[in-house]
Amino acid sequence: MERVLMKGNEALAEGAILAGCRGFFGYPITPSSEIAEYMARKMPKIGGVFVQAESELAAINMVYGGASTGARVMTASSSPGLSLKQEGISFISEAELPCLIVNVSRGGPGLGGIQPAQSDYFQATRGGGHGDYHTIVLAPSGSQEMMDFAMEAFELADKYRIPVMIMAEGTLGNIMEPILMREPVTKFSEKPWATTGCRGRKPNIVNTLHLGNEELESRNHQLFNKYQIIKENEKRADAFLVEDAEIVVVAFGIMSRIVKKAVIEARKKGVKAGLVRPVTLWPFPDEHIRTAAKNARLFLSVEISMGQMIQDIQLALAGRVPVEFYGRIGFTPNPEEILQEIMRLAEREGL
Amino acid sequence: MGHVSIFSGAFGSGKTEIALNYALERARQTKYNEVLLADLDTANPYFVARDARGLLGPEGDAVKVIAPVRELAQADVPNLPREIIGLLRTDNDMVLDLAGDKFGALVLGYISKYIRARTHYNMYMVINPYRPFSSNLNEVMELKRLLERAGRIEFNGIISNPNLVEETTLELIKEGHRRVVGFAKELEIPVTYLAVEDKYYQVLYPEYGNDLKSIKLFLRPDWIRGLEEGMKDGEGQG
Please determine whether the domains at A3-234 and A237-349 fall in the same fold group of CATH.
yes
Name which of B16, B14, B12 is nearest B55 in CA terms. B16
Separation of alpha carbons A70 and A327, rounded Å: 41
pLDDT at position A85 over 90: yes
Strands A136-138 and A99-105, bridge-based pairing: unpaired
d(CA B196, CA B14): 11
Enter the DSSP assignment of A284: -
CA distance A112 to chain B (A): 10
Reported as type and span, the H/E element at residue B194 is strand B191-197
Q: Is A166's pLDDT higher than 80?
A: yes
Beta carbons within 8 Å of A17's beta carbon, 6+ residues apart: A39, A42, A43, A46, A48, A184
Interface predicted TM-score (ipTM) of this complex, two decimals: 0.88
Helix (H) or strand (E) holding B87: helix B84-88
| Nearest of B183, B105, B191 to residue B147 by alpha carbon | B105
β-bridge mates for residue A64, sequence order? none
pLDDT at residue A7 tops 80? yes
Per domain, the residue ranges of chain B are 3-237
Mean pLDDT calculated for residue range A224-234: 98
In B3-132, beta strands by DSSP E: 4-9, 35-40, 63-66, 93-98, 121-127
Q: What is the 3-state secondary structure (H, E, C) of B120-143?
A: CEEEEEEECCCCCCCCCHHHHHHH
Residue A278's beta-bridge partner residues? A237
Instruction: Note the Cα B103 to chain centre separation in Å.
Output: 15
- The CATH number of the structural domain formed by B3-237 is 3.40.50.300
A118 close to A308: Cβ distance less than 8 angstroms: yes
Strands A99-105 and B63-66: unpaired
Give the closest-approach CA distance of B159 to chain A in angstroms.
17
Beta carbons within 8 Å of A337's beta carbon, 6+ residues apart: none
Closest CB from B74, B221, B229 relative to A115: B74
- Report the distance separating Cα B162 and Cα A2, nearest Å: 13
> Domain A3-234 adopts which CATH fold?
Rossmann fold (3.40.50)
The answer, for A181 touching chain B at a CB cutoff of 8 Å, is: no
pLDDT given at position B45:
74
- In CATH, the architecture of A237-349 is 3-Layer(aba) Sandwich (3.40)
Identify whether the C-beta of residue B192 lies closer than 8 Å to the C-beta of residue B5: no
The minimal CB distance from A6 to the residues B46, B132, B235 is found for B132
Largest pairwise CA distance in chain B: 64
A152 touches chain B (CB under 8 A): no
CA dist., res. A74 & res. A166, Å (int) = 11
Q: Do A240 and B167 touch (CB under 8 A)?
A: no
In one-letter notation, the amino acid at residue A124 is: A
Q: What pLDDT was estimated at residue A42?
A: 97
Cβ–Cβ gap A145/B76 under 8 Å: no
d(C-alpha A123, C-alpha A110), whole Å: 14
CA A115 to chain centre: 18
Angle, CA of A81, A84 and A85, to the nearest 5°: 90
pLDDT for the residue numbered A110:
94
With contact defined as beta carbons under 8 Å apart, do A146 and A12 qualify? yes
Closest CA to B100 of B153, B42, B158: B42
Q: For residue A154, is pLDDT > 90?
A: yes
SS3 A10: helix
Q: Report the DSSP pairing between strands A237-240 and A176-180.
A: unpaired
pLDDT, tens only, A299-332: 999 999 999 999 999 999 999 999 999 999 888 8
Q: How far is B28 from chain A (nearest CA, A)?
A: 30
pLDDT at B44: 74
How far is residue B225's CA from residue B223's CA, in Å, rounded to a whole number? Answer: 5
What is the H or E stretch that residue B215 is in?
strand B212-215
User: Mean pLDDT, to the nearest integer, of A188-205?
Assistant: 95
Eight-class DSSP state of A120: T
- Smallest CA-to-CA distance from B107 within B15, B35, B14, B43 is with B43
Mutation target for B interface from A18, A238, A250: give the one with most B CBs within 10 A: A238
A197 touches chain B (CB under 8 A): no
Partner residue opposite A4 with nearest CB, options B132, B221, B224: B132
Strands of chain A, DSSP E: 3-7, 23-26, 49-52, 73-77, 99-105, 136-138, 163-169, 176-180, 237-240, 247-250, 273-278, 280-282, 298-303, 323-327
| Cα B181 from Cα A95, distance rounded (Å) | 54
Q: Nearest CA to B41 among B70, B64, B75? A: B75
Determine the pLDDT at residue B229.
Answer: 61
Q: What is the mean pLDDT of residues A193-221?
A: 94
Percentage of chain A lying above the pLDDT 70 cut: 100
In DSSP terms, B97 is beta-bridged to B7, B39
Separation CA A19–CA A186 (nearest Å): 8
The H or E element spanning position A339 is helix A335-349
Is the CB of A10 inside 8 Å of chain B's CB atoms?
A: yes
Q: Do A288 and B163 touch (CB under 8 A)?
A: no
Alpha helices (H) along A235-298: 254-268, 286-292
pLDDT in tens, chain B (238 residues): 689 999 999 999 999 999 999 999 998 888 777 899 999 887 777 788 888 877 888 778 888 888 887 677 777 777 788 889 999 998 889 999 998 888 889 999 999 999 999 989 999 999 999 999 999 999 999 999 999 999 999 999 999 999 999 999 999 999 999 999 999 999 999 999 999 999 999 999 999 999 999 999 999 988 887 666 655 544 433 3
The domain ranges of chain A are: 3-234, 237-349
Residue ranges of B 141-200 with Cβ closer than 8 A to chain A:
163-167
Closest CA of chain A from B233, distance in Å: 8
Cβ separation A178–B45 shorter than 8 A: no
Output the pLDDT for position B230: 57
Residue of B75, B164, B229 lying closest to A5 (CB–CB): B164
CB contact under 8 A, B130 and A141: no
What average pLDDT does this structure show over A7-22?
A: 98
Helix or strand holding residue B212 (H, E): strand B212-215
Q: Which helix (H) or strand (E) holds B157?
A: strand B157-160
CA distance B23 to B64: 9
pTM: 0.93
Task: Find which of A1, A2, A5, A14 to mutate to test the B interface (most B CBs within 10 Å of its CB).
Answer: A5
Separation between Cα atoms, residue B100 and residue B151, nearest integer Å: 12
Percent of chain A residues past pLDDT 90, beyond the cut: 96
The runs of H, that is alpha helices, within B188-213 are: 198-208
Q: How far is B237 from chain A (nearest CA, A)?
A: 6
